[in-house]
Structures are given as C-alpha cells and as structure tokens.
Structure 1
Amino acid sequence: MSEGIMQADQPETREAAGTDLFSKFDPIIQMREKLLGTGIEDPFSLVMERVLSPTRAVCNGRETILLGTYNYMGMTFDPDVIEAGKQALADFGAGTTGSRVLNGTYQGHKDVEQALCDFYDMDHAMVFSTGYQANLGIISTIAGKGDYIVLDIDSHASIYDGCKMGDAEIVPFKHNDIEAMEKRLKRIPDGAGILVVLEGVYSMLGDVAPLKEMVAVAKKHGAMVLVDEAHSMGFIGENGRGVAEQAGVMDDVDFIIGTFSKSVGTVGGFCVSNHPKFEIMRLVCRPYTFTASLPPSVVATACTSIRKLGQASNKRAHLWENSKRLHGGLKDLGFTLGTETPESAIIAVIMPDLEKGAAMWEALLKGGLYVNLARPPATPANMTLLRCSLCAEHSESEVEEILEIFENAGKSVGII
C-alpha cells in the first residue's frame, strides 16, 4: 500500500476535510431549536403514559382526548380482537424469527390474507410487516427501469420511496387534477409500462381523490392502477372497502394497498389484487422476501378486526356523523379548514405559521386534547396544519367537548 493511500485513511485527514454527514439536517435542527426556544413542549416527542381506550389516554399526567391517532374504527380495544391476540401469543409464541418465504408463514398469516381476500372480494392478498413496506415493495417491484410511474404530487413518502427504489421514471402531476394527469400520460412513449398511483384519501388535508374519472383516464392510456386506501379502508364505501368502492371502480383498479395501523387497529400492511400472475410477487418482491414476518399475535388481531369491519355499518355511520359535526363546528367557530365539506375522518385545521401552530397545539394539549401538528415539508404548499383524526368510538359528548377545547385554545392563542 502506498504512503499516500495510508495517509488518506488516517482519521485526522478525514477530519480535516470537514465533512459532517449530519450537516444536511442543519435547517431542520435550527427550526426545532427555534421552536423549543419559545418554551413550547416538543410536539413530536409526546409520551402516552397510559392508554385508557380508543379515544382517551394519560399524557403528561392528565387524561386527554385522543384526536390524532388514526384509530378510525376504534378497534384497538375491541374485546374479540384482544382475545385473538392473547390466544395466538399463547399458542404460537412471541414471533416467527423468519421471512415469509422461509419459516415465517404460520397459519395466522394465511388466515389474515384470506380475510383480506374476503373483505375486498379479490383473488390475492399479500401481507407485509408495515404499510410503508407494502408501498415500497409493490411499487418498486412492479415498475422498474424503463417504466413510468404517474402519481399525484401529494403522494405519501412511502410511494415516492417505492418509485425511487424501483428506478422507474417518476412523472408527478398537480394534486387531484384530472387534466394534468392526462397530459402527463399523453407524453409517455408508446409501448412503455405505465403505473398510475393514487390515494383514496390524502392524509394531510383529508380530501378524497376523484377516482372514477382518474381511473377511466388511466385505463384509456393503457396504464395499470394502484390505489392506496390506507386512510379510507374500514369506513368509506358501502362495505368499508374505500374510495374505490364508493366510486364504483373496484373492478378497474389493479392493486389496492392498505395498512393495519389505522382502521384495523394494529400494525402491518397489505396489497390485494385480481391479477392472475400476482402470486409471483412473493418471490420477487425484496421488502417482502428479506424481512421478518409479523408476529402471530399481530396477524391474529388483524384477522379478527378485518372480519368485524365487514359488518361495521353502524360504526361507519356514527363516524360520519362525528366528522360532519366536528367539521361544521370548527367552521362555525371561524377556523380555516383543509376541505370545504367533510370528506373523510381527517379534518385539517390550517394554521398561520409553525410558531402559531405549535402554540395552538400546546394550548389544546393543556386543555386536554391531543391532535397532530403537521409541518413542512410533509405538508402540501408548505402549510402548517393541526390534523384531527376522528374515531367511531368518539361519543357525541366528546365531540362537543373537543369543540369547546378548540374554541378556548383558539381564542387564547389568537387564531380565532
């Protein structure tokens, strides 16, 4: 080895170069320090000391209403769901210690995939360890180098990461703009593989995609369609299958992605499809093949929850009533909301800036209410939002209490 190479390997040489791999995060570090310097509690480090129910927890020693948990159908404390998890834990142990293609497929994994097939009335279901992995795995495997992915610019980070991992050409279009989507599709070379990726409900503003029109345009241009229904499964559509069901396009959608960490009430992700070749994905999808499978207790709780969601029409109706009441009440109080009318179980309250948003978040928490503080770059158009996620287990009186807390906090901070 030459003296020059040896010198290049010395720590002092690397240190002299001044390369700090954390320097790219300096703007975020400074923003956080500025925010905490005002004396506001860190909104991204909240600890729930005890969870009492789907709608209440003890935070900072105080009982708090939960309005930011994505627990849309309130299944986390369902007695049947909990009992199924306990039984699987006793019968099969704490974990599988293996991949689904090795020793990591237990009977429970097959059962939950069958529950998904029955719930969506589709031929194939594939379960991942998280919803993030479901998007990462399916998108990166289906669309590779030389293919094109046309997607809404407000798509979730996991969708973008799946695009990047698969090395396909990414073609974004303006949010929920049908005309812009079609313009992008017209520019794609003839013969290229095309995947259009949409979401049923977009998680920041809680708005719904015009799936009926968008799916029709995609099919006209020979594209396959993937719809992420993470925030609509369980309560939108007659059977809770999501916006695709509500729009009447289930038969035209090639892949539906979803998660267990919202309406299902546990953790995991999935994809359902009617494509006749779909089962080969189990051998070619790296995020599925090279990761440990979900623990038996988790798939048991998910399976039980999914079976019950198919019969949860009363809970869906109550959740919609909650959404309408909260949306209308906040609007009447003078808050600026992300949608003109309630479109989902997510209601976004738009803040003037991050400082005001953080102050409002803290005031709500001190008043006994937890919501999500969402900030750029995660939010569209660099907005700061207070994101409210309603639950089917919120009572009418809790919704009224939420409105009262919002009114008091909004006046104290100067938002209304």
Structure 2
Amino acid sequence: MPDSLFPAPHPFLQHCQAALAQMRQEGRYRSFAALAKSRRDFPRYTDSTGRRITVWSSNDYLGLGGSDVLAAAATAAIEAHGVGSGGTRNISGNTPLHEALESELAALHAKPAALVFTSGYVANQAALGTILSSMDGNWHVFSDEKNHNSMIAGMKNARAKSIFRHNDVAHLDALMAAAGPGVNKLVAFESVYSMDGDIAPLAELAATCRRHGALSYLDEVHAVGMYGATGAGVAERDGVLDRIDIVQGTLAKALGCHGGYVAGPAEVIDFLRSAAAGFIFTTSLPPALAAAGLASVRHVKGATALRERHAERAARLKAAFQAAGVRPMPSASHIVPVPVGDAALCREVSRLLLEEHGLYVTPINYPTVPRGTERLRFTPTPRHDDADIAFAAQAVAAVLRQVGLLPNAP
C-alpha cells in the first residue's frame, strides 16, 4: 500500500522550483510593479498606496494611449459593435474597421496591402514562420544577431540560417555570397533596436538584399509613429520604403493601441492571410482596438510637432544625464539606456529609484540582453517636462553613487 492516496509531485514541479530559485539568486526573477496607469495624467501612475509615480520606461512613446482621439474611436466602436470580436476573421471577427485599418497601414508604408495580427510578436512569428516553411522549406534566412525574440521564434525552423554581426553590412554580404546556389534568401533586421537605441543602416542593407536577390524583412515596431514625414518609420525617414519588401510593425507602442501587422506585396499578404496559422486560428482584434488603431494611424500621419517634441525630449534627457555625471549608452534614437552591468544590482537600482524617488524604470536583464550588459532603459515621452527630466537625472546620479557605480561628488 502506498503511504499516501495522492501521487508524488511531478518532477516538473521540482524543476520549476529549482529554476526559480536560480533566477532569484542571479537577480533575474521577474516581478511586476503594481502601478495603475492614468489616462489623463500620463506619465504619472499610482502605486498600491496611492502614491504618484513617474514612469520612465513605457513603450507608449508618444503618450497616445490616453488620447481623446483614440478613446473616442474605441468608445464609439464599443457602442456600435460591442466588446469582443466574436471569433477569428474567418468565422465572425472581420469588420469594415479591420479592413479600413489594413488599408491605412498599407498606405502608411507605401505597400499594396497589409494584414493585422493580435500582437507584434504574433505578426513576426507567424509571418516569418509561414514564409520560411513555404516552397518546400528551400530558404536560407540571414538574421541580425540582435533581432527580437519574436523574429527568432519565426525563424526557428528555417532549413538554413546565418546570423550576421549587428548592423554589419559587409558581414551580411559575405555570408550571402557564400550561401549555396538555388536557395531562396530572406534577410531579417530591425530599424530601431530597442535595448541599445541604435538604428540600422537601412539603405545599405536594402542594397545588399537586392544585390543577392533576397527578400528584405524589416521590423519597425520601435520606429512607427516617430520617424519619417508621416510616421511610417526609419525606412520613410531614410527614403528607402520602396526598397524594403516586407515591413512589420505594431499598434501597441507609439500608436498607443494594441495589435501587430505586416505590410508588403499583395500576393505575400494574401498568402499569409490564407496560410499563417498565427492569423487563421486566433480571435481577431476587438472592433474597439481596430477603431482606435485606425484613428491613431490617421492622427499620427499629421503629428509632426509631436514627433519633433518627442525627439527634443530624448535629446534633453541624454544631455541632463551627461551633466549629472551619468553616462548613458550611445543611442541614435529616442531610447536612452543607462548601463549597470549586473542583474542583481540593476534590480536594486530600479528598486531604489522607485521607493526613494518615485521613479519607475524597468531593469533590463538576461535573457533580454546578454549577461554583463544589464541596464536601465529610459523612454522619454513628449509629456515628460523639463522638471521631470532634471529630477530624473539627479535621482539616477544619486542612486548610482549610493550603490557605488558613480564616484561621490567632490
């Protein structure tokens, strides 16, 4: 007779316990701050005690998540269509709002067509996975070494894969030249790399793709809304929209909404619509989100002053850090990373900023960035004013001195 009527715990439970213990020991255990976002008061949030916190790490880059333009569109759509979408696009979740949004996104990126997914992650995973599984898998994919996890997930089952050094066009060129003949090539890269804040040389990458007959696949999720005359991204800013084959983007960052998409040739988009499992078998975006996304894209196209204000805020924060003795990582974009270099210490700096100064900044640890390159990631918005920036710079300097990462002021 067994000692207990209940079976012994499954070994996976013990694995989870050990893995979590190791994460805690290494400072990689993930905990979430209980902060309530305020639509009217962004970037001020409220913590569980009612204290107002200034958030410095939101991907709502332009502060449009609380915009009256988006809120009115979403509210009207709920009144007209209800909350849920009712199913996949094929079953009952397709509306004129979804189709209008796709037309607007295609026009934004100067492409014949676009397809909306439930998130940017799903868009990358589904689109890349579907493309690279086609044509009997006769593909060789070339991936920038710092591409996002969603792109890596989409490329996971590629028959042949080469990783080129970050933003190194010469290395990509050499790898493509060495690839075997008779294989279809696709090159995947981003415009703005969200953890370092650097920007890819899109013109050179596009030219290399053309020279080797490769499809170019560009992730613009951290650039849509903020760069280019109409906010289409870095490809628009750099004048290479017509030389990029497929663009992937998101509604969930600068556009202040939710959802992801790809835009490109009509045949490619139609193929993905009919073949991508991540699209076919997923409940579609609720009508309210499609409506808000549509309103946001239309609004952002003419929001030149907002983009200029956003760029000026990022430049001012970088300058304020330098003046306070803080050395952010080199960044050509709106993302301002401050290096710490240790996972546990990075979490400690984040904790001190929150508890002692009322500033919330996300600690970025492995596996998001390589071990030893841990950092705080600041994302200023147009709604962070001069006083916010000055206070943040002094607070970060004080905490870095407190933990021994900056010398004490003379």
Cα distance, 1:34 vs structure 2: 5.8
Aligned counterpart, 1:300: 291
Contact 1:360–1:413, Cα closer than 8 Å, also in 2:
yes
Q: 1:57 aligns with which of 37, 45, 60?
A: 45
Q: 1:188 aligns with which of 167, 172, 179?
A: 179
Deviations along 1:188-245, one digit per CA (max 9) or x if unpaired, are 1112011100100111111111111111111111100010000011111222111111
Q: 1:200 aligns with which of 188, 191, 201?
A: 191
Deviations along 1:3-31, one digit per CA (max 9) or x if unpaired, are xxxxxxxx97xx69x84376278455323
Deviations along 1:60-99, one digit per CA (max 9) or x if unpaired, are 4321111111111111111111011011111101112211
Write the mapping of 1:322-333 to structure 2, written as runs, cut at 5 A. Answer: 322-333=313-324
Three-state SS of the structure 1 residue aligned to 2:38 is: strand
Aligned counterpart, 1:407: 397
Cα distance, 1:163–1:24 mapped onto 2, change above 3 Å: farther
Contact 1:70–1:390, Cα closer than 8 Å, also in 2:
no
Q: 2:344 aligns with which of 355, 366, 371?
A: 355
Once superposed, what is the RMSD of the aligned Cα atoms?
Answer: 2.2
Contact 1:43–1:362, Cα closer than 8 Å, also in 2:
no
Structure 1 gaps, min length 5: 1-10, 37-41
Contact 2:341–2:372, Cα closer than 8 Å, also in 1:
no
Tell me whether 1:122 sits opposite 2:123 in the alignment. no
Deviations along 1:343-391, one digit per CA (max 9) or x if unpaired, are 1121111103112211211111121111111111210464111011121
Write the mapping of 1:16-415 to structure 2, written as runs, cut at 5 A. Answer: 19-20=11-12, 23=15, 26-27=18-19, 29-33=21-25, 35=27, 44-52=31-39, 53-61=41-49, 62-144=51-133, 145-164=137-156, 166-339=157-330, 342-366=331-355, 367-380=357-370, 382-415=372-405
The residue identity in structure 2 corresponding to 1:48 is L
Q: TM-score, normalised by structure 2?
A: 0.91
Cα distance, 1:332 vs structure 2: 3.0
Three-state SS of the structure 1 residue aligned to 2:12 is: coil
Cα distance, 1:174 vs structure 2: 1.2
Cα distance, 1:50 vs structure 2: 4.5
Greater displacement, 44-53 / 56-65: 44-53
Cα distance, 1:54–1:376 mapped onto 2, change above 3 Å: same
Contact 1:352–1:384, Cα closer than 8 Å, also in 2:
yes
2-side partners of 1:294 and 1:352: how far apart? 39
Cα distance, 1:324–1:57 mapped onto 2, change above 3 Å: same
Aligned length: 396
2-side partners of 1:94 and 1:335: how far apart? 46
2-side partners of 1:34 and 1:185: how far apart? 39
Q: TM-score, normalised by structure 1?
A: 0.90
2-side partners of 1:207 and 1:25: how far apart? 37
Cα distance, 1:26–1:206 mapped onto 2, change above 3 Å: farther
Three-state SS of the structure 2 residue aligned to 1:222 is: coil
2-side partners of 1:54 and 1:162: how far apart? 34
The residue identity in structure 1 corresponding to 2:405 is I
Structure 2 gaps, min length 5: 1-5
2-side partners of 1:284 and 1:299: how far apart? 22
Cα distance, 1:278–1:355 mapped onto 2, change above 3 Å: closer
2-side partners of 1:119 and 1:57: how far apart? 32
Three-state SS of the structure 2 residue aligned to 1:226 is: strand
Cα distance, 1:301 vs structure 2: 0.8
